[in-house]
Structures are given as C-alpha cells and as structure tokens.
Amino acid sequence: MAASDTATAASDRHLADPPPRAPRDGLGTVFVFDGIDETCYGFPDIDGRGAKAASHRRGRVLASADDLRQDGDAADEAQIRRGLVPFVPAADGPLLRMQTCIYTRAPEDFFVLDRTAADPRIVLASPCSGHGFKFASVMGEILADLALLGRTGHAIGHFRIDRFRGELVQP
C-alpha cells in the first residue's frame, strides 16, 4: 500500500437470486451502477455461492489489516440495497451471507502506477482492491511496459506516486 493509500473496511453481500446472471460459459460480467448517493458494483453468481454486490463508499479506516472485523450489519446491507435495487429491482432478494473486506484506495480514488527513483527497475503498482480489478487487462499491459521497457504509451501521469511525495521518476 502506498503511503497515502487508506485501507477501509467494506461489506459486501451475496444474494440468492440476483441478476445479472452469469452466461452459460461460466464467464461473469462485472456490473457497476453509479447512482446519485451510491455507487454499487459486483459480479454475477458464477460458482453457486451467490452474486456479489458491494458499495464503493468509504468504510471505517483501518490502522492495519489485523483490525479487520467481520462486522457487516443491517445498515451495511441496507446501504448496498439502496445502491443496487433502483437499477436491478429483482436483486432485492434474500441475503445468503455478508462479509467485510479490506478495500484500499488513494485519497482521490486514482491508482498508483510508477517506478522508484532509487531503482527504476522497481515498478510500483497499487490498482487498489476497491476497483482496480475492473482494469486488470490494461493494468497488466502498463506494468509489463514499465517493467520491460521502462515506459508505457498509456497516459499514466495522474497515477504517479509523486503526487503524494516527490521521490519517484517519471516513466
């Protein structure tokens, strides 16, 4: 985690019968609904454990990963339902389980992609677990470029870590 990243606790819920359903080939589709008061995201049920739906809102700050508690409650569930149900009314079904996860994010919600000034062979990447998974293919391409070529053709200036502290070189 970068020095300015914050780890927060975020609850997600798994639903018994939520759309969107996974295609027959077993490959799921990530969904993101950006409402006025909430951004909700998730995955369809691809392994029989229920679809995942979660809130993108900031949870309580954790001093360390050891501080994570499985303490999602009715208020967390209601928040997720408020973000999901307006877009997918059929998702207002039974709750199978709720779990609390560590959700890292930089203060302005951008990723960190850079190289260190101390050794430009070292590539830093914090796509942040909160939403970086949605960009896995381009993250892999950028990181491969930085590791193999020392630069990338993608515009990543706003992802530099020196926006927090000025100790890294420009890729």
- Reported as a single tens digit per residue, the pLDDT across 11-59 is 555 555 444 444 444 445 677 788 777 788 887 777 777 778 888 776 7
Say if residue 127 is in the same domain as residue 81: no
Say if residue 26 is in the same domain as residue 98: yes
Assigned domain for 76 exists: yes
Assigned domain for 14 exists: yes
| Structure confidence by residue, pLDDT tens digits, 57-80 | 767 788 888 888 888 888 888 888
Say if residue 10 is in the same domain as residue 81: yes
Helix H or strand E segment including 13 = strand 6-15
Choice between 167 and 120, residue whose per-residue pLDDT is larger: 120
Place of tokens 């959700």: 103
Whether 6 shows a pLDDT value over 70: the answer reads no
Helix H or strand E segment including 151 = none
Assigned domain for 1 exists: no
Residue 144: domain span: 112-169
Final residue of a structural domain among 86, 105, 124: 105
| Whole-number Å distance between alpha carbons of 44 and 39 | 17
Q: Is 72 helix (H, G, I), strand (E, B) or coil?
A: coil
- Is the bond into 44 cis (omega within 30 degrees of 0)? no
Report the mean per-residue pLDDT for the chain.
Answer: 75
Say if residue 77 is in the same domain as residue 53: yes
Say if residue 45 is in the same domain as residue 116: no
Final residue of a structural domain among 105, 120, 135: 105
Which residues 6+ apart lie within 8 Å of 7 measured at CB? 1, 61, 62, 64, 65, 102, 103, 104
CATH code at 31? 3.30.9.10
Say if residue 90 is in the same domain as residue 25: yes
CA distances from 145 to 1, 148, 149 (A): 21, 5, 5
Say if residue 15 is in the same domain as residue 32: yes
In this structure, are residues 154 and 138 in contact, taking their beta carbons and an 8 Å threshold?
yes
| Whole-number Å distance between alpha carbons of 99 and 169 | 39
In this structure, are residues 136 and 96 in contact, taking their beta carbons and an 8 Å threshold?
no
Q: How many distinct structural domains can be found in the chain?
A: 2
pTM (whole model) above 0.85: no
Whether 5 shows a pLDDT value over 50: the answer reads no
| Structure confidence by residue, pLDDT tens digits, 101-134 | 877 777 777 888 888 888 888 998 887 755 676 7
Final residue of a structural domain among 88, 105, 122: 105
Whether 146 shows a pLDDT value over 80: the answer reads yes
Say if residue 43 is in the same domain as residue 118: no
Say if residue 116 is in the same domain as residue 91: no
| Whole-number Å distance between alpha carbons of 108 and 65 | 21
Say if residue 71 is in the same domain as residue 152: no
